[in-house]
Amino acid sequence: MSSADLEAATALKVQGNKAFAEHEWPTAVEFYTQAIAKYDHEPSFFSNRAQAHIKLESYGFAVADATKALELDSSYIKAYWRRALANTAILNYKDALKDFKAVVKREPNNRDAKLKLAECEKLVRRLEFEKAIEVSDPPSAFEELDIDAIKVDDNYDGVKLGNEMTQEFIDDMIERFKNGKKIHRKYAFQIIKAVNDLVYAEPTMVEIGVDKGTHLTVCGDTHGQFFDLLEIFRLNGYPSDTHAYLFNGDFVDRGSWSTEIALLLYAYKWLRPNRFFINRGNHETDDMNKVYGFEGECRAKYNETMFKVFSESFSSLPLATLVGNKYLVLHGGLFSDDKTSLDDIRKLNRHNQRQPGQQGLMMEMLWTDPQTEPGRGPSKRGVGMQFGPDVTKRFCENNGLEAIIRSHEVRMDGYEVEHDGRCITVFSAPKYCDSTENKGAFINIGPELKLEYRVFEAVPHPDIKPMAYAQNSILSMM
């Protein structure tokens, strides 16, 4: 490789840096990748791409790039730092700990690195403690909760909730949330208990049609961005007897109005159980909630018990929805085995396994991602795997499907149609985490089962940062 190659590659890196500064993370990755193709001996190209991958939540790719940078230069501190952040994000705290130690060793006066090292050591100790006291089959959090005995204060100024959900209560709840108020914890517990009972009784794969005179809206990740959720309803209409909604997971964590979104979605589910549907996402799980803010938010706005009952309700949620026998809607994606069928999803007893674990059908349904190359590949996230267009084609043909609809990943235009039209990603959190210049989208489906994509922009929200309730300060660096 010549000096001309290095010069051309450096120019591409500069373009990548510019795209990164403008929060155009996929474009930045493209430029860094082109730079590496021209000259693959410069560690900063890999380290910079690692940072862009972190922004895209491609933590597995970020670890690989930072590792390559360190192979080229074992003293490259930014690469240790970025690999530590990426490993922290996928809860590989022990690996992250080694890299934070490497940074502190090389920069003993780096106060921020010392703080992150101490935080990481605390996380490792907490994880070991939780593992030591873990109960294999914990009792129901609802058993020790006497909701009827909770008194609503006389000075509570909101609409009262009886034994049934009402539209009046929902309308009042929305206004309260918009104004920074809460609903009474008794009502929150009532909502969660009612919805837990409803969704527990639903099959692992809910099967629905779109009747004449009605339509269905499919939304992707909303991640605690409550004001953007209201924008969807403003633009597209609120849930009604003729307008069904399906939320495809990841409605909590990261954004700082996760309890508001969860309670609103649950309230609609209780009001219209056969017209409102919720799939579980990878962030409706304990390990994610403990790190990315939802547990901390429940504690701050309500109490620890609120998180426990939410956690139990999350494990009751269905994992997929089959729409009109044509579209399989699930949060992550497809499977490591071509033989996996819709019947396997139907037979999956999700109640035997409250958390998805590191392998198996549930983990794959919540975590996998599409790739452009045929076959299957390692996960860019460091969890699960990736599946190519041939895998999607075989699955759809074997199961009589037109396409799968999934979420789980930011798309700059809010949605993307891949794999020859058979794999559709929809993401409904615009300007994700206040740092990505993406649009949001949702999909409308009428009785003819044609897909209509609607794209929307983020709306202003009160000045509360994403991850405001996260227990892990390391992640604030991302």
pLDDT value at residue 139:
84
d(Cα 82, Cα 100) in Å, to the nearest integer? 10
- What would the 3-class secondary structure string for 143-165 be? CCCCHHHCCCCCCCCCCCCCCCC
Assess if residue 21 is contained within a domain: yes
pLDDT value at residue 91:
87
Q: Which H or E run contains 25? A: helix 25-38
| 250 Cβ contact partners less than 8 Å away, ≥ 6 residues apart | 220, 221, 222, 223, 281, 282, 283, 284, 331, 407, 408
Q: Where are the alpha helices (DSSP H) in 317-437?
A: 342-347, 361-367, 389-398
Residues 98 and 236 in one domain: no
Assess if residue 317 is contained within a domain: yes
pLDDT value at residue 475:
65
CATH number for 273: 3.60.21.10
For 202, which DSSP code? S
For residue 182, the one-letter residue type is: K
Residues 201 and 126 in one domain: no
d(Cα 477, Cα 405) in Å, to the nearest integer? 32
Number of Cβ atoms within 10 Å of the Cβ of 174 = 18
Pairing of strands 320-323, 327-330: antiparallel
Residues 205 and 118 in one domain: no
- Matching residue, tokens 């227990």: 471
d(Cα 88, Cα 474) in Å, to the nearest integer? 8
Assess if residue 45 is contained within a domain: yes
E-strand spans in 395-456? 403-406, 415-418, 423-426, 440-445, 451-456
Residues 343 and 460 in one domain: yes
Q: How many domains does the chain have?
A: 2
| 115 Cβ contact partners less than 8 Å away, ≥ 6 residues apart | 473
Greatest C-alpha distance within the chain: 78
Q: Which of 53, 223, 243, 283 is an active site residue?
A: 283
Query: The dihedral of CA 227, 229, 230, 236: what is its sign?
Result: positive
Bridge partners (DSSP) of residue 378 are: 385
Q: Where are the alpha helices (DSSP H) in 57-110?
A: 59-72, 77-89, 93-106
For residue 99, the one-letter residue type is: D
pLDDT tens, per residue, the chain with 478 residues: 678 899 999 999 999 999 999 999 999 999 999 999 999 999 999 999 999 999 999 999 999 999 999 999 999 999 999 999 999 998 899 999 999 999 999 999 999 889 989 989 988 888 788 778 776 677 899 998 999 999 999 999 999 999 999 999 999 999 999 999 999 999 999 999 999 999 999 999 999 999 999 999 999 999 999 999 999 999 999 999 999 999 999 999 999 999 999 999 999 999 999 999 999 999 999 999 998 999 999 999 999 999 999 999 999 999 999 999 999 999 999 999 999 999 999 999 999 888 898 889 999 999 999 999 999 999 999 888 999 999 999 999 999 999 999 999 999 999 999 999 999 999 999 999 999 999 999 999 999 999 999 999 999 999 999 999 987 666 655 5
- Matching residue, tokens 């790190």: 291
Domain of 72, in residue numbers: 3-133
Assess if residue 160 is contained within a domain: no
Bridge partners (DSSP) of residue 424 are: 405, 417
Asked if 283 is an active-site residue, the reply is yes
CATH number for 51: 1.25.40.10
Residues 113 and 255 in one domain: no
Assess if residue 140 is contained within a domain: no
- Find out whether 329 and 246 touch, Cβ atoms under 8 Å: yes
pLDDT value at residue 126:
81
d(Cα 461, Cα 299) in Å, to the nearest integer? 22
For residue 152, CA distances in Å to 159, 188, 287, 467 come to 11, 12, 32, 30
Q: Which H or E run contains 328? A: strand 327-330
**SS3 state at 375:** coil
Residues 122 and 208 in one domain: no
Residues 123 and 265 in one domain: no
**Cα pseudo-dihedral 305, 310, 312, 318, rounded to 10:** 180
Residues 53 and 129 in one domain: yes
Residues 329 and 419 in one domain: yes
- Find out whether 217 and 229 touch, Cβ atoms under 8 Å: no
- Matching residue, tokens 């990548």: 16
Which of 133, 150, 165 finishes a domain?
A: 133
- Find out whether 388 and 403 touch, Cβ atoms under 8 Å: no
d(Cα 240, Cα 215) in Å, to the nearest integer? 10
Residues 315 and 408 in one domain: yes
**SS3 state at 395:** helix
Which of 105, 133, 161 finishes a domain?
A: 133
Which of 92, 113, 133 finishes a domain?
A: 133
How big, in percent rounded to 5, are the helix, strand and coil portions of the chain? Answer: 50, 15, 40
Per DSSP, the chain holds a count of helices (H) and strands (E) of 17, 14
Residues 240 and 103 in one domain: no
Assess if residue 51 is contained within a domain: yes
- Sheet containing 415-418: order of strands: 205-208, 320-323, 327-330, 403-406, 423-426, 415-418
Residues 399 and 278 in one domain: yes
Assess if residue 223 is contained within a domain: yes
- Find out whether 292 and 249 touch, Cβ atoms under 8 Å: no
Assess if residue 231 is contained within a domain: yes
**SS3 state at 278:** strand
